[in-house]
Amino acid sequence: MTDGGAPAWDRAALIGSPLLATVRPLLERLPPDRFPTLDELSLLARERDVRSGGGAPVVFVPATAERAGAFEAQYEIRIYREGAVPTRAGSWHDLFNALAWITFPHTKGAINRLHHDQMQLRRGEPQRGTARDVLTLFDEGGVIAACADASLSSLLVAFRWKELFWTRRADVVASMRFKVVGHAIHEIALAPYKGVTAKTLVVAVPPATLALADDALNALLDERAAAHFTAPGALASTRSLHPLPILGIPGWTAENEDGAFYDDAYVFRSGWKAEKKEAP
């Protein structure tokens, strides 16, 4: 650990973490002995022609304070119009945001465009609205669950965690893949705790899709997620994204090799928690 409490840079440890497997192809290209620079991250984005929701090439720029009340300078608006993603040097949170942009460019671009459109639509209103809440939940804490067996996805959405991850453990390993999009989840993965819960988009895929190499599978799921969020009704409720206690996923922590791990009802809840009424 560093003096400030943040993890020191250790690329080998990052590459070896099952919770960071989604971005492993990019981690392998980062410097072995130091945090990547903004220019290095921008180069990776340029290689993949990553673009904002407005079509501007994405570049990672130093973060500066936004001008209060300046609509054009707001985070999502600036990204949409200029492609400039404010990024703090040495920030794990911002690093993982950059890696999400590079790994899931269509999804991130769609989220940016939808934020922009909602901000224009609701300009001057005091509430963000449900649509932006859905987008933010997935952007920060989203996981794509690719599933080739509908019976498994049914267990996930029904909160039947032990049956899913323990009783049918071998089926999950064979027929599901979990891809982390949310940069806050990746940041938490540096020091995970049992209660970490993601917001999950379940995507049905044929079995052959799960045999794709990491980059190819990420690209396919990127297209599917982008299409989902731009479809009518996708942003109507935050409950369209299913809770997922990520340390229940087989192989993501040694602790879940014991079936008793799933008996913790506080973490592996049996249904939705009470929520405040959503703003339209």
pTM: predicted TM-score of the whole model, two decimal places? 0.92
Distance, in Å, from the CA atom of 162 to the CA atom of 172, rounded to the nearest integer, reads: 12
Dihedral angle of Cα 56, 57, 63, 65, to the nearest 10 degrees: -10
| pLDDT tens track for 51-98 | 999 999 999 999 876 654 566 568 999 999 999 999 999 999 999 999
Dihedral angle of Cα 137, 143, 145, 146, to the nearest 10 degrees: 110
Distance, in Å, from the CA atom of 95 to the CA atom of 40, rounded to the nearest integer, reads: 11
CB distance 156 to 202 below 8 Å: yes
Q: Is residue 4 very low, low, confident or very high in pLDDT (cuts 50, 70, 90)? A: very low
Least confident of 28-37, 65-74, 138-147: 65-74
* pLDDT greater than 60 at residue 35: yes
Structure tokens at 117: 């459109």
User: What is the per-residue pLDDT for 121?
Assistant: 84
Cβ neighbours of residue 182 under 8 Å, at least 6 residues apart?
100, 138, 139, 140, 141, 142, 143, 198, 199
| pLDDT tens track for 156-190 | 999 999 999 999 999 999 999 999 999 999 999 99
User: Judging by DSSP bridges, how do beta strands 197-204 and 142-147 pair with one another?
Assistant: parallel
Q: Is residue 18 very low, low, confident or very high in pLDDT (cuts 50, 70, 90)? A: very high
| pLDDT tens track for 197-243 | 999 999 999 999 999 999 999 999 999 999 999 999 999 999 999 99
CB distance 196 to 119 below 8 Å: no
Find, among 43, 16, 38, 42, the residue nearest to 27 by Cα.
16
Domain ranges of the chain: 11-134, 138-263
* pLDDT greater than 70 at residue 137: yes
User: What is the per-residue pLDDT for 133?
Assistant: 95
Mean pLDDT value across the chain = 92
Find, among 264, 218, 229, the residue nearest to 245 by Cα.
264
* pLDDT greater than 80 at residue 126: no
